[in-house]
Amino acid sequence: MSDVSMVQQECKSRDAMRVAREEGKYIYCIIGTKEKKSFGPLGIGGRGDELYTICFNDIGAVVSNSPIIKYSVSRENMLPHEKAIEEVMKEHTVLPVRFCTIAENEEKIKRILEKEHSKFKGLLDTMKGKKELGLKALFKEDVIYKDILGGYEDIKAFKEKVAALPPDKTYYQRAELGKMVEQALEKEKERYKKEILANLELLAEDIKINNSYWGMMILNAAFLVIKDKELGFDQRVQELDAKYGDKIKFKYFGTLPPFNFVNLAIETGEY
């Protein structure tokens, strides 16, 4: 290797080391506070970095020191991001910030808070006293197929007709039967989804319907509920479970930060 190449390689190595050492401020959420506060060594990255506030007037960003890197969207990284926000929520109304939002320094954080003060303050007022509750409803697979075959006469009759034919002659008929069952299942899912939502929607300030990622899933929803209605919401879910529990499994979880209703996208390079 020539002397010039060696010098170039050394420069690249030093640049890489400098970038690797470059530290920024990872932003977890926005809260209403004038005080510099600490929330413990819960920072992302496994280094035990302290969570603390950087404030402007009466709002603050909850941050930790972090290398300026692109964190992969993995369980290992998402869990500390969410856990940090959940810890802060024990004391404050929180506005979650999008995963992997990193500013260069404290001055940049303060510029963001100053420029977006009115927006953040308005959102904090809107979200005050509200919590996110999650509900998933899934058909019990062994029960629902019996209900479909038993309650849809056309499916029952066609199934009996197919069963009477030689198995090697029924490929297309069995495919058609599967299609009929699938359509009936979607119809039943929609019916129960409407009934569940009708029982809960008046107790929620807002509802976010998320994708149902499994065939037996009827509903995958987040509900924004004010504190005064949380007990009533709990009771209504229990009533739904008592009514439909023989055929539907409910997964009820919360209280959560309002991830489905606030997810601030802060483009730090624009400030």
Q: Smallest Cα–Cα separation from 192: which of 230, 221, 170? A: 221
The reply to whether 242 falls in a domain is yes
Q: Which of 93, 128, 163 is the last residue of a domain?
A: 128
For residues 80 and 161, membership in a common domain is answered with no
- The predicted pLDDT at position 119 comes to 97
Read off the amino acid at residue 61: A
Segments in the chain below pLDDT 70: 1-21
For residues 179 and 249, membership in a common domain is answered with yes
For residues 42 and 103, membership in a common domain is answered with yes
- Domain of 136 in residue numbering reads as 132-256
Report helix, strand or coil for 18: helix
For residues 55 and 120, membership in a common domain is answered with yes
For residues 152 and 223, membership in a common domain is answered with yes
- The predicted pLDDT at position 21 comes to 56
Give the C-alpha separation, 81 to 43, whole Å. Answer: 8
For residues 105 and 38, membership in a common domain is answered with yes
Give the DSSP letter of residue 97: B
**Structure confidence by residue, pLDDT tens digits, 74-100:** 999 999 999 999 999 999 999 999 999
The reply to whether 267 falls in a domain is no
Give the C-alpha separation, 136 to 253, whole Å. Answer: 9
The reply to whether 110 falls in a domain is yes
Q: What is the pTM of this model?
A: 0.82
For residues 122 and 176, membership in a common domain is answered with no
**Structure confidence by residue, pLDDT tens digits, 174-227:** 888 888 888 989 999 999 999 999 999 999 999 999 988 778 999 999 999 999
Query: Which three-class secondary structure string do you get for 153-173?
Result: HHHHHHHHHHHCCCHHHCHHH
For residues 120 and 187, membership in a common domain is answered with no
For residues 52 and 114, membership in a common domain is answered with yes
Q: Which of 101, 128, 155 is the last residue of a domain?
A: 128
- The predicted pLDDT at position 152 comes to 85
Token readout for 245 is 């529990």
Q: Which of 128, 144, 179 is the last residue of a domain?
A: 128
HSE-CB of 264 using CA atoms within 13 angstroms: 25
Q: Smallest Cα–Cα separation from 43: which of 74, 88, 93? A: 88
The reply to whether 270 falls in a domain is no
For residues 122 and 158, membership in a common domain is answered with no
Number of domains making up the chain:
2
For residues 136 and 252, membership in a common domain is answered with yes
